[in-house]
Amino acid sequence: MPLNKYAPQAATHRRTQSAILEGAKQLIATVGLAKMSMIEIADTSQVSRATLYNHYRDKDSVLAALCDSEIRKLVVIAQSAPNPTDALEALSIQVSSDSALANMRISDPAPLTQFLSATSHPLWNQFNDALAMILGSQIVADLATRWLAGQAMAPLTPEDSRLQAELLIPRAHL
């Protein structure tokens, strides 16, 4: 039996999951977390309800997968930067300009605040550990993670993102 027999199914599975997560993020950005339903996620994602439920059991599992996906994207952004300052600037711009976070600040501030303050959550730790590897210091990563979480609630301009990133890196190494 060939090893790649199921490769097309796996690729379809990943594309479907990606469509569902993008649909959920789009809904959060437009109608908000509280008003979003599984039916709307299926419709926005252009998948059947059965397909949606084959991938995720409920809205909470979609949101958990979306958070995990977004954290992974942030790590890739930071890893692709040429230096720690550029990594922090890119992360800051990404967080500050995210449309789903922008709408959550208005329509769903309590769940957003709850997630941002869950510093013992595995996703928080996963991101912080990855950032420590990228920045070369756990202390800098701790500061940067809290700095970025603050931007989810109070976004920065791209200019301020650069300025504060430049200030954070040298000061953290003092």
pLDDT values of the chain reduced to their tens digit, one per residue, 174 residues: 456 666 667 677 789 999 999 999 999 999 999 999 999 999 999 999 999 999 999 999 999 999 999 999 999 999 999 999 999 999 999 999 999 999 999 999 999 999 888 888 899 999 999 999 999 999 999 999 999 999 999 999 999 999 999 998 865 444
Q: Does this model's pTM top 0.95?
A: no
Residue type, 107: S
How confident is the model at residue 111, as a pLDDT?
92
How confident is the model at residue 6, as a pLDDT?
62
Does some domain include residue 1? no
For residue 98, what are the domain limits?
Answer: 7-172
Does some domain include residue 138? yes
What CATH number does residue 94 fall under?
1.10.357.10
Does some domain include residue 107? yes
How confident is the model at residue 171, as a pLDDT?
55
- What is the total count of domains within the chain? 1
Does some domain include residue 2? no
How confident is the model at residue 102, as a pLDDT?
96
Does some domain include residue 119? yes
How confident is the model at residue 13, as a pLDDT?
72
How confident is the model at residue 2, as a pLDDT?
53
How confident is the model at residue 3, as a pLDDT?
61
